[in-house]
Chain A
Amino acid sequence: MTVHIVKSFDEELNRMTGEIAQMGGFVEEQIMASVNALVRRDSDKAQEVIAKDKRIDALEDEVEQMALRLLALRQPLAADLRLVTTAVKIAADLERMGDYAANVAKRALTLNKLDPVRPVNSVPRIAELVQGMVKDVLDAFVERDVEKALAVWRRDEDVDAYYNSLFRELLTYMMEDPHHITPCIHMLFIAKNLERIGDHATNIAEQVNFLVRGKPVEEARPKGDLTAYSTPES
């Protein structure tokens, strides 16, 4: 897109995009760090993740302030207006993702105090998947690439599929031995947190689509989390 006649307007819009990209980088880091803390039973690392969540909250505040200032002082229109409103929403999604990562770290702390459960390979796998979604959807945002955003949006199905299989796996462990229930429940919440991060990535994908095209996504949203209907017998 061509540049604004008022240069500082471009600078402000670019700075807002930059803040979002930085938030995304922090979220990716937090996801991986929280899962590493879990897999390696590293409580110091988990504490670090919990403490670092503040950085993401602070950036969200900053994006919100910038958006308010832009609305009040620049009265943005059309694509500029859509950028300001989507930036606020994307920042809110990223902030929630940060909370989920911090929650994974908190549960890792608890699990580290219990006997190790049988390794659940699906958790790092889900983490890797959602981290990739966060990275790609923010690239799509910065590059205004709708196709890339929609590819992320469709990938959410894979996350749901992993989550569903993990859910069933954990059910069988719990049925095996009631002592497994406490760690398995924590593990289940951890997986659910990661799965929710994927959902927020799809929200961002929808925002990118709206930012570029000015209308909502037409496809029906992929719906993959079927655990609401699952029973131990299934």
Chain B
Amino acid sequence: MIPAPFEYYRPREMAAVLALLAEHGDEARVMAGGHSLIPMMKLRMAEVPHLIDLQDVEGLSGITVSGGEIRLGAMVTQAEIIDSKELAQAAPILREAALQIADPQVRAMGTVGGNVANGDPGNDMPGLMQCLGARFTLVGPEGEREVAARDFYEAAYMTERDDDEVLTAVAFAVPEGGYAYEKQKRKIGDYATAAAAVQIRREGASCAAASIAMTNLSDTPVWSEAAAEALVGTELGPEAIEAAVTAMLAEIDPSEDNRGPVEFKRHAAVVILRRAIARAWSRA
């Protein structure tokens, strides 16, 4: 499969990227690891007459943990997330999730920025970032702005990012308490049939705070405030968990595809969320 021809650019500075985006409008697109974009270009489902490779652009790399905050440059790869000792300590849910994405070769190329900017409901990082309450930094002709991950996703492949903006970083507070990223997939390397990201903070015998987000069960990730609230203040007995699951089910809207019919996906969502809550609680 051969993609349509394109003009290729590999600038070193963000100013040059923004100038190219301004000049070519929706005929131009940035490329990070290319492991979502290139397959789409090969299938000719995406046509990109002007392709801007971000690999040499300064300021997009690096993982920093300081002052209770974690910052991932947009070009940090899934492999780098897995290998970061600092991150494994500060936010182990990231490593747990990244290990469930694709396979080693894909993780060597796929970036966190591409994963969250892509807007594919199957991507794992958007739900994860909603669970963590992350913020995305966007830079465009009018300067920089931050958008909450929970406000970023509008519909499949439609995000709050304007065509002339580039996502430069993902940032969030060091999460507290227990965590779990649970994913049901047909085989290793597959996108989720259902996935859940859960963080739970425990005080004494009861749950003091919780955050729950579901992946690939709607055309955007689903951060379910109601599901989390059902757990807060309880000791996570069967009733509280049942209430959380019911709240989650009211918010997801899966569609039938080659991963199964709607009823099956709702069933998988329940199983996955129960597992994720139990594991996060056991680590809290």
Note whether A and B form a binding pair. Answer: no
Binding site for B on A (CB under 8 A): none
